């Protein structure tokens, strides 16, 4: 049973067994927006340059969706883009936002945290709220359409090896640092995908060691190139660029 209080959430666990009841867990969310449509500008303004865990709540049926983002403002801008919702209507939360509209949803910032801890903290809140709109059972498990950052993979790898809660070695710290700054050196990122970019307007062809490097050179977000490949696009991106993977 979940109880929403004006000063925070209270989560109670009840049992029919004669054993003592589980203790009540209470916490105050970082921010709460009761009407996502009316609070849109405030949501985007207050979450600029922040990473953390968020929760959508359908105020009609009380169903929830919990997610995490390295850039919350960018993620919320995607949610407020109807074309994005249509494109990703395989996600229950996207279909629900289209069906019920933003005004029927509240948005809660559960926690701001460092990027490399996002999925671990997201799992923590999954275990508390059991969000109905989330398809996967574990946010740290691989799933279609979800890619872990290199830094998070390192943290998760250490956790599986029994290193959770322990100090990272200098080697691990270096790996995390390289992952967070997006180091494209092939020695640090052996799996970087080299690509070839053709500019059909200027009739030029350039090669890059990674997708991120190409994105920086073109002043676009790297996910645009990732989607170009994942969706097998044939038309030039923005009517100008075509991308080709190099073996």
What CATH number should be reported for the domain holding residue 86? 3.40.1440.10
Q: Is residue 68 part of a domain?
A: yes
Residue 169, SS3 per DSSP: coil
Q: Do 31 and 118 reside in the same domain of the chain?
A: yes
Q: Do 10 and 98 reside in the same domain of the chain?
A: yes
DSSP state of 183: -
User: What is d(CA 37, CA 80) in angstroms, rounded to the nearest whole number?
Assistant: 9
Higher pLDDT, 78 or 11: 78
- The DSSP H or E segment spanning 4 is strand 2-5
Enter the tokens of residue 137: 């059972």
The Cα angle at residue 181 between residues 178 and 185, in degrees rounded to 5 = 55
User: In angstroms, what CA-CA distances link 101 with 107, 133, 156, 157, 201?
Assistant: 13, 15, 36, 39, 41
Taking residues 119-146, report their average pLDDT: 77
Residue 222, SS3 per DSSP: helix
Q: Is residue 26 part of a domain?
A: yes
pLDDT value, residue 188 = 43
Instruction: Identify the domain boundary among 129, 151, 173.
Output: 129
Lowest mean pLDDT among 35-39, 75-79, 227-231: 227-231
pLDDT value, residue 172 = 55
* Residues 82, 71 contacting (CB under 8 angstroms): no
Q: Is residue 158 part of a domain?
A: no
Residue 244, SS3 per DSSP: strand
Average pLDDT, the chain: 76
pLDDT over 60 at 5, yes or no:
no
Q: Do 203 and 125 reside in the same domain of the chain?
A: no
DSSP state of 146: B
* Residue among 43, 39, 32 nearest 72 (CA): 43
Q: Is residue 88 part of a domain?
A: yes
167 confidence band (pLDDT: 50, 70, 90): low
Q: How many domains does the chain have?
A: 2
pLDDT value, residue 154 = 54
Q: Is residue 174 part of a domain?
A: no
Instruction: Give φ, ψ of 41 to 5 degrees.
Output: -60, -40
* Residues 1, 14 contacting (CB under 8 angstroms): yes
Residue 64, SS3 per DSSP: strand
* Residue 75, domain extent: 2-14+22-129
Q: Is residue 32 part of a domain?
A: yes
The percentage of the chain sitting over the pLDDT mark of 90, rounded to a whole number, equals: 36
Instruction: Identify the domain boundary among 80, 111, 129.
Output: 129
Name, of 57-61, 169-173, 220-224, the range with top average pLDDT: 57-61
- At a CB cut-off of 8 Å and minimum separation 6, what does 33 contact? 39, 42, 43, 106, 107, 108
Q: Do 123 and 47 reside in the same domain of the chain?
A: yes
Q: Is residue 91 part of a domain?
A: yes
Q: Do 105 and 6 reside in the same domain of the chain?
A: yes
* Residues 95, 35 contacting (CB under 8 angstroms): no
Q: Is residue 10 part of a domain?
A: yes
């Amino acid at each position: 049973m979940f109880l929403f209080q004006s000063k925070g959430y209270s989560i109670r666990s009840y049992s029919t067994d004669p054993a003592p009841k589980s203790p009540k867990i209470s916490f105050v969310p970082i921010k709460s927006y009761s009407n996502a449509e009316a609070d849109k500008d405030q949501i985007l303004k207050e979450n600029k340059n922040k990473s953390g865990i968020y929760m959508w709540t359908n105020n009609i049926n009380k169903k929830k969706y919990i997610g995490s983002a390295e850039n919350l403002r960018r993620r919320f801008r995607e949610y407020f883009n109807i074309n994005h919702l249509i494109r990703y209507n395989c996600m229950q939360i996207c279909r629900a936002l289209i069906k019920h509209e933003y005004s029927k949803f509240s948005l809660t910032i559960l926690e701001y945290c460092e990027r490399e801890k996002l999925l671990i903290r997201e799992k923590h809140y999954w275990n508390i709220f059991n969000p109905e709109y989330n398809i996967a059972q574990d946010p740290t498990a691989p799933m279609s359409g979800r890619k872990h950052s290199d830094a998070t993979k390192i943290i998760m790898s250490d956790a599986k090896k029994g290193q959770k809660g322990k100090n990272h070695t200098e080697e691990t710290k270096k790996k995390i640092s390289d992952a967070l700054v997006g180091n494209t050196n092939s020695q640090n990122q052996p799996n970087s995908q080299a690509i070839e970019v053709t500019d059909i307007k200027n009739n030029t062809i350039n090669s890059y060691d990674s997708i991120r490097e190409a994105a920086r050179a073109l002043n676009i977000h790297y996910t645009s190139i990732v989607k170009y490949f994942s969706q097998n696009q044939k038309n030039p991106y923005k009517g100008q660029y075509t991308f080709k993977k190099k073996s």
